[in-house]
Amino acid sequence: MRLPLSPNKEDWLKSKIRDIPDFPKPGIIFKDITTLLKDPESFRFVIDTMAEQCSEFKPDYIAAIEARGFILAAAIAYQLEKGFIPIRKPGKLPHRVTRQEYALEYGTDCLEIHVDAVERGHRVVLIDDLLATGGTAAAAQMLIKTAGAEVVGTGFVVELSFLGGRKKLLTKSEETFALITY
């Protein structure tokens, strides 16, 4: 699902995102949202718009994948008066964790969540800055599900639709949103 942004608003948000060629490797054009985050008007718009969408899912918690997802999800959770659940790379969480490995183009990576982060029946919305191939978001969704909660929605600022990441997600299309799409 795409939020109903006007073409002018979508173009305005896209103008706030900087392209970094050949990062993190040659041939990749990295969509850098730090320029959007430093602009108070666009940052407020993103948080307000994503919080409005998240509230429709009636979540108990807002979860995010480190690191840029934390910036967004913490502000959304605060605005909605919900708890925030961090999903991190291995070795970063201090308590017992459950982990989920996922495939990368060359090799694997892993995410972790505290074993007591959520309980059976909790409703969670997962937030991240960008949906590309979908491997990281799908692994985060699986962690939430394994912990016993339900992923009721997933949101991104940017979706690179040509990479097909949405197909890997556990959430249905109507439960997944992105503010802007390339």
**Residue 7: what pLDDT?**
83
**Residue 53: what pLDDT?**
96
Query: Distance (Å, rounded) from C-alpha 113 to C-alpha 91?
Result: 10
**Residue 24: what pLDDT?**
87
Upstream peptide bond of 67 is cis (omega within 30 degrees of 0): yes
**Residue 4: what pLDDT?**
65
**Residue 31: what pLDDT?**
96
The dotted CATH code for 7-181 is 3.40.50.2020
Secondary structure class of 79 (helix, strand, coil): helix
Residue ranges of the chain with pLDDT lower than 50? none
**Residue 171: what pLDDT?**
85
pTM: 0.94
Taking only the tens place, the pLDDT of each residue in 1-47 is 556 688 899 999 999 999 999 998 899 899 999 999 999 999 999 99
- Residues marked active site are found at 68, 105
Q: What angle do CA 154, 101, 17 make, to 5 degrees?
A: 45
